[in-house]
Amino acid sequence: MSQETYSIPTGPAEQLDYVRNAVTLCTTNATAWGVPAAKLTAIVSPRTFYEQKSAIANNSQTQSPAATAGRTAAWVVLEPFITDLYDHYIINNAAISAADKEALHIHYAFTGGGAPSSAPASTPVVTLTSKEISMLRVVYSDSTTPSSHAKPKNVAFCELIYKIGDPAPVSIADCNVHINVSRSSEKVVFPPELRGKAIRGYARWVNKNGKTGPWSNQIGTIIP
């Protein structure tokens, strides 16, 4: 079993190329990959704004602390749109070729190497906390060690599957979004139009050999 994850560059120059590449590939392959036209339309304005701010911050004639701050603020606005594309339409999409996945910075969350280990027997205890607008942090502990935020031994990540909006999911099968959380307090960013909606889901541990543990009880909150 292999599950995919992705990495967003942290450097401004790399982020700019990353966004351009991701949007171009999603636009070119929208039909084949199942990316709705409305999602691509929604990203145009924040992407344009970010590129404008980047051009000012990257120009030796206009560089300044204010320009850098403006670029950072523009990225904060754009990032939820990018993660929305990845989380809902790119990750684990069988229609995307291996070459395009590499170009999109998609990789397997684990390789299956090392000595085999048994499937996790415990469950994550997950709390979705909110401190910033349009963002939740996935805070977890293990059911056997609730006072610690460490993953159990040999666990690669916490898999979170969820559904946004009503009606509430009755079971795992009703959830349609998967994300892999490799560390406690990792952030999940949402597009602005999802603010105020309920998010409900389930979590389980996945070990370094791809074996999965039992699902947790349902968790949920409101997207701030």
Is the pLDDT assigned to residue 110 strictly greater than 60? no
Cβ(46)–Cβ(39) under 8 Å?
no
Q: Which residues is 196 bridged to in the sheet? A: none
pLDDT digits (tens, 9 = 90+) for 26-84: 999 999 999 999 999 999 999 999 999 999 998 989 989 999 999 999 998 998 899 88
Confidence band of 162 (pLDDT split at 50, 70, 90): very high
The fraction of the chain above a pLDDT of 70, given in percent, is 95
Which H, E and C letters describe the chain, residue by residue? Answer: CCCEEECCCCCHHHHHHHHHHHHHHHHHCHHHHCCCHHHHHHHHHHHHHHHHHHHHHHCCCCCCHHHHHHHHHHHHHHHHHHHHHHHHHHCCCCCCCHHHHHHCCEEECCCCCCCCCCCCCCCEEEEEEEEECCEEEEEEEECCECCCCCCCCCEEEEEEEEEECCCCCCCHHHCCEEEEECCCCEEEECCHHHCCCEEEEEEEEEECCCCECCCCCCEEEECC
Is the pLDDT assigned to residue 112 strictly greater than 80? no
pLDDT digits (tens, 9 = 90+) for 18-38: 999 999 999 999 999 999 999
Class for the domain spanning 124-222: mainly beta
Whole-model pTM: value is 0.62
| Sign of the CA dihedral with 43 first, then 45, 50, and 55 last | positive
Query: How far apart are alpha carbons 104 and 192 in whole angstroms?
Result: 23
Mean model confidence pLDDT for the chain: 89
Give the start-to-end residue ranges of the domains of the chain. Answer: 4-108, 124-222
Is the pLDDT assigned to residue 115 strictly greater than 90? no
Is the pLDDT assigned to residue 7 strictly greater than 70? yes
